[in-house]
Structure 1
Amino acid sequence: MSFTETLRRENNDIFEAIFNHRFVDGIGKGDLPHDSIAHYIKADYEYLNAFMHIYGIGISKSTNRKDIEYFNEQVGFILNSETHPHMNFCDVIGVGYDELHGYPLPPTADHYVKHMMYHAQMGGLGEILAAMLPCPWTYLEIGNHLMKKYQPTPNDTFYQWIKFYANEEFETLSNAMRQRLDELADQASETERQRMKDAFRKSCQLELKFWEMAYSCEEWPQGEGVNTK
């Protein structure tokens, strides 16, 4: 069993909880509160900006052109392709994409970004990839899960979102990250492998919490009587 196969088995509980989350299931049903969708886009746009910065740290720690090329390609994918599922959400709620940019990260998303930044700064490439992998991997499986469970057609509300993540291009992206992580894990010490496992587990947990953050429209707490204007 490869390192990433072990990671998937050890974190199956979190993957299943993600598949059954009310936001994720709402995508399949085509029924989500518009405020929750807007909150998701605001947070995910800034999250993906941070994701690209972490890819940049990966480039700075790369010792060969193959890894540099990989990280560079992933930045390009986010910039040029991963806006498409956001646009599906925007079309459903009737809000322009630009109107949902520039908002501060809610607490869970802020924690998630700083968690990945910590591992990017403190660890090597294996640790960086372990912290980042749950994002594309869970989305790939969400897309496949919803496609199988609901068998959406182009007339369904979130068909374009589901189709984007349940396709060969996105599977190739996830598998490439898995393959490189397996290679790095094979060369790592037990201590380094455990740090990779910890980073991966926490990112899985934060993926689950990200969906709940979006559905509940999570905000930073304010003290009673504080003027926030």
Structure 2
Amino acid sequence: MKFSQVLRESAEDIYQGIFEHPFVVGIGEGNLHKEAIVHYVKADFEYLNAFMNIYGIAIAKSSTREDMNYFYDKIGFVLNSEIHPHHNLCEVAGVDYEELQGYPLPPTANHYVTHMKSVAQQGSMGELIAALLPCPWTYLEIGHHLKEKYQPTEDHPFYEWITFYAKEDTASVTTELCERIDKWAENVGEEEKEKAKQAFIKSCQLEYLFWDMAYNVEEWPFSLEGVQQ
């Protein structure tokens, strides 16, 4: 069994929990409340900035130009493509995308970003990829799950969001990262693979909690004016 398959099987319960989360169900049913949408976009905008930072760390860890170019291209995908589902959410919520940018990360999102950056800076390339992989992989499966279960038509409020994450271009990100971590795993020992597995599982857990954070509009317990939390 390929290492990426081992990772996916180890997180099956978390994936199923994500599919059943009320935020994800709300996307499928088209009935999310505005506050949750706004909170999600605010946090995800900053999360994706951090995701690009980690691709930058991957470039620094790369030993070949092919690897450097690969991660460079992934930064472009986030910059130029992942804004489309954000625009769909903003249209439904009736807010301008630009108004939701530049906010401090809520506690859970901050924890997630800290986890990924720590793994990226201190771990191997395999651990770095493992920490990043749950984001594109869970969204890919969410897209397919919602498309199959709800069969949305163009008049569905979240049609663009669902179809974006279910399409082939989006799937290629997951496929390529899986191929890279499988290749990495062929040349390392069990201890290194276990570290990568733990990084993957923690990111999966935090993917679930990210949805929970957005749905419950999670904030820091005390608002300190002028302090970046």
Cα distance in structure 1, aligned partners of 2:44 and 2:175? 22
The alignment status of 1:116 with 2:135, answered yes or no, reads no
The alignment status of 1:95 with 2:103, answered yes or no, reads no
Q: Secondary structure at the match of 1:14?
A: helix
* TM-superposition CA deviations, 1:71-130 (whole Å, max 9, x none): 011100000000000000001111000000000000000000000001001112111000
Please state how far the C-alpha of 1:228 moved relative to its aligned partner.
Answer: 4.7
Cα distance in structure 1, aligned partners of 2:74 and 2:159? 24
Cα distance in structure 2, aligned partners of 1:158 and 1:55? 28
Please state how far the C-alpha of 1:186 moved relative to its aligned partner.
Answer: 1.1
Q: Which residue of 2 aligns with 1:142?
A: 142
Identity %: 56
Q: Which residue of 2 aligns with 1:221?
A: 221
The alignment status of 1:39 with 2:39, answered yes or no, reads yes
Q: Which residue of 2 aligns with 1:71?
A: 71
Please state how far the C-alpha of 1:22 moved relative to its aligned partner.
Answer: 0.2
Please state how far the C-alpha of 1:190 moved relative to its aligned partner.
Answer: 1.3
Q: Which residue of 1 aligns with 2:197?
A: 197
Please state how far the C-alpha of 1:187 moved relative to its aligned partner.
Answer: 1.0
> Residues 163 and 227 of structure 1: is their aligned pair in 2 closer, same or farther, counting only changes over 3 Å?
closer
The alignment status of 1:12 with 2:19, answered yes or no, reads no
Cα distance in structure 2, aligned partners of 1:147 and 1:192? 36
> Residues 116 and 227 of structure 1: is their aligned pair in 2 closer, same or farther, counting only changes over 3 Å?
closer
Cα distance in structure 2, aligned partners of 1:145 and 1:182? 25
Could you list the structure 1 runs, at least 4 aligned residues long, displaced by more than 6 angstroms after superposition. none
Q: Which residue of 2 aligns with 1:129?
A: 129
The alignment status of 1:62 with 2:62, answered yes or no, reads yes
Please state how far the C-alpha of 1:200 moved relative to its aligned partner.
Answer: 0.1
Please state how far the C-alpha of 1:217 moved relative to its aligned partner.
Answer: 0.4
Please state how far the C-alpha of 1:65 moved relative to its aligned partner.
Answer: 1.4
The alignment status of 1:161 with 2:184, answered yes or no, reads no
TM-score by length of 2: 0.97
Cα distance in structure 1, aligned partners of 2:188 and 2:76? 29
Cα distance in structure 1, aligned partners of 2:173 and 2:224? 45
Aligned residues between the structures = 226
Please state how far the C-alpha of 1:227 moved relative to its aligned partner.
Answer: 6.9
Runs of 5+ in structure 2 lacking a partner? none
Please state how far the C-alpha of 1:173 moved relative to its aligned partner.
Answer: 1.2
Cα distance in structure 1, aligned partners of 2:67 and 2:192? 19
Q: Secondary structure at the match of 1:178?
A: helix
Please state how far the C-alpha of 1:185 moved relative to its aligned partner.
Answer: 1.1
TM-score by length of 1: 0.97
* TM-superposition CA deviations, 1:151-173 (whole Å, max 9, x none): 00011010000000000001111
* TM alignment of 1:172-211, pairs within 5 A: 172-211=172-211
> Residues 30 and 189 of structure 1: is their aligned pair in 2 closer, same or farther, counting only changes over 3 Å?
same
- The alignment yields a C-alpha RMSD, in angstroms, of 1.0
* TM-superposition CA deviations, 1:158-199 (whole Å, max 9, x none): 000000000000111110000001101111121111110000
Runs of 5+ in structure 1 lacking a partner? none
Which letter does structure 2 place at the counterpart of 1:93? A
